[in-house]
Structure 1
């Protein structure tokens, strides 16, 4: 069993939204004694308004690949003095799985994770919420910006309209269609049979984009071995889970899970 008591956390955001969705999470974990980083994807270091102002002609962002995003976070992680805990949401959850699979993380938390290659997301709500981002029959040199109506369905369903609008204005940014398409290639592959560091998956009962059933099939793809592999479904969480009023309850659960993993590590090392 691989476990660790790392005090560094790297947060990885998903597609379509700014890395500032981690701001409150960083503050929370810093107060608990962790050193945290939430680096943006390449070409996304700006406010949502600044990045939307470049839409759709930000060619560097538009032509970025999933492999570039992965390499970017590998460089961040390997620059740290110890293997960090990696916590990712959605596409960031997929990247978390990849970092754990490459043995670059002390532990991983995949929040409403986009599944790796081989776990086919056939759920209707996933297809409805994501197919436009592939940009079929549109120029790959132009970025994709999710419309508010699509954001309502894919991210903030069930929330009051004013909160939906505020979330859209604060966080939604242009995206690379090539990154989205990269999730359908070997760049998104992991070895489900390989032993790995502790890995926690969380799901939300009202998430349209990554529904609980898809999360469970992601977890069930892993082979049973001595690795720690856990799953938790939270009631009433949509895909905007990081910014819902209940976000701290989720963070509390993750912190408790990390503390349990650290205790297990100390016991294992002592024996």
Structure 2
């Protein structure tokens, strides 16, 4: 039986943005799934046309959504998440719902203290208005270029925006921003779990949304667990690293790491 892999997207990207990864992982013998978040429509166009369905979903909603999908499988899946999807993957792994996880430019979990100015600027379209907590917010092409496409050409950033960008719920950003002030924050991950599967953290050195310092601080949160926790840096990549013209290098690095873990 082939090992299942669940791809988990983050804010502002549609689940279909994982298709090149899913195709590559399928070629390597994995069974792949790339479900959307609660409220996401089947296509980018439909998601853009119905942002109200996307609005209001928080971190716990997304975790429960993916937990239900996992419980319908015959075996624990490998979890591959990007941005907030990387946080969700870590939460699911901490709950022993995954065989392993690859968290790519993952949103900061509770306990991560660095808050770079570029992160604040990337989140400003949502965090600038408290009312956005219950709404879905879209990025402009210019905001997308700063948050995602700053390491690729302006033309490629625009192409990525046109192809994959959808509205995103504001609630997860507010939950993450308040995590270190909330003892019961949904952004809390069981980083001390000794029995969980291996975890790979991937950082992009030019990422504005989740700078490398955030990923390295995340790594420190796992210091009380002896379970495998690795980190790999891509110095020249930004937040678009899963969808831009350099995606294959990141995907193949992830595949190599999984094989090293006998997965």
TM-score scaled to structure 2, two decimals? 0.92
Q: Over alpha carbons, which structure has the higher Rg?
A: 1
Measured in 1, the distance between the counterparts of 2:2 and 2:201 equals: 19
Per the TM alignment, residue 137 of structure 1 is displaced from its structure 2 partner at its CA by: 4.2
Measured in 2, the distance between the counterparts of 1:53 and 1:244 equals: 24
Deviations 1:8-41 (A, max 9, x none): 1001000111111100000000000000000000
Task: List runs of 5+ in structure 2 lacking aligned partners.
Answer: 180-184
2:106 is the counterpart of 1:113: yes
Contact 1:94 1:115 in 2 (8 A): yes
2:93 is the counterpart of 1:87: no
Q: 1:191 to 1:207 in 2, by over 3 A?
A: same
Q: 1:108 to 1:137 in 2, by over 3 A?
A: closer
User: What is the match of residue 245 of structure 1?
Assistant: 245
Measured in 2, the distance between the counterparts of 1:138 and 1:187 equals: 19
User: What is the match of residue 32 of structure 2?
Assistant: 36
2:74 is the counterpart of 1:75: no
Per the TM alignment, residue 224 of structure 1 is displaced from its structure 2 partner at its CA by: 4.2
Per the TM alignment, residue 135 of structure 1 is displaced from its structure 2 partner at its CA by: 5.1
Contact 1:208 1:238 in 2 (8 A): yes
Stretches (4+) displaced over 4 A: none
Per the TM alignment, residue 205 of structure 1 is displaced from its structure 2 partner at its CA by: 1.2
User: What is the match of residue 210 of structure 1?
Assistant: 210
Measured in 1, the distance between the counterparts of 2:98 and 2:26 equals: 19
User: What is the match of residue 19 of structure 1?
Assistant: 15
Per the TM alignment, residue 122 of structure 1 is displaced from its structure 2 partner at its CA by: 1.1
TM-score scaled to structure 1, two decimals? 0.89
2:42 is the counterpart of 1:46: yes
Deviations 1:71-105 (A, max 9, x none): 00011111110001001000000001101110111
Per the TM alignment, residue 139 of structure 1 is displaced from its structure 2 partner at its CA by: 5.5
1:64 aligns to what SS in structure 2?
A: coil
1:108 aligns to what SS in structure 2?
A: strand
Per the TM alignment, residue 140 of structure 1 is displaced from its structure 2 partner at its CA by: 4.7
Measured in 2, the distance between the counterparts of 1:34 and 1:6 equals: 5
User: What is the match of residue 220 of structure 1?
Assistant: 220
Contact 1:49 1:169 in 2 (8 A): no
Aligned Cα root-mean-square deviation (Å): 1.8
Measured in 1, the distance between the counterparts of 2:16 and 2:132 equals: 28
Residue-pair matches, total: 256
1:262 aligns to what SS in structure 2?
A: coil
Task: List runs of 5+ in structure 1 lacking aligned partners.
Answer: 264-271
User: What is the match of residue 123 of structure 2?
Assistant: 130
Measured in 2, the distance between the counterparts of 1:159 and 1:139 equals: 29
User: What is the match of residue 189 of structure 1?
Assistant: 188
Per the TM alignment, residue 155 of structure 1 is displaced from its structure 2 partner at its CA by: 0.2
Q: 1:225 to 1:50 in 2, by over 3 A?
A: closer
Contact 1:87 1:96 in 2 (8 A): yes
User: What is the match of residue 142 of structure 2?
Assistant: 149
Per the TM alignment, residue 168 of structure 1 is displaced from its structure 2 partner at its CA by: 0.6
1:200 aligns to what SS in structure 2?
A: strand
| Aligned 1:248-263 pairs, distance under 5 A | 248-262=248-262
Measured in 2, the distance between the counterparts of 1:6 and 1:63 equals: 35
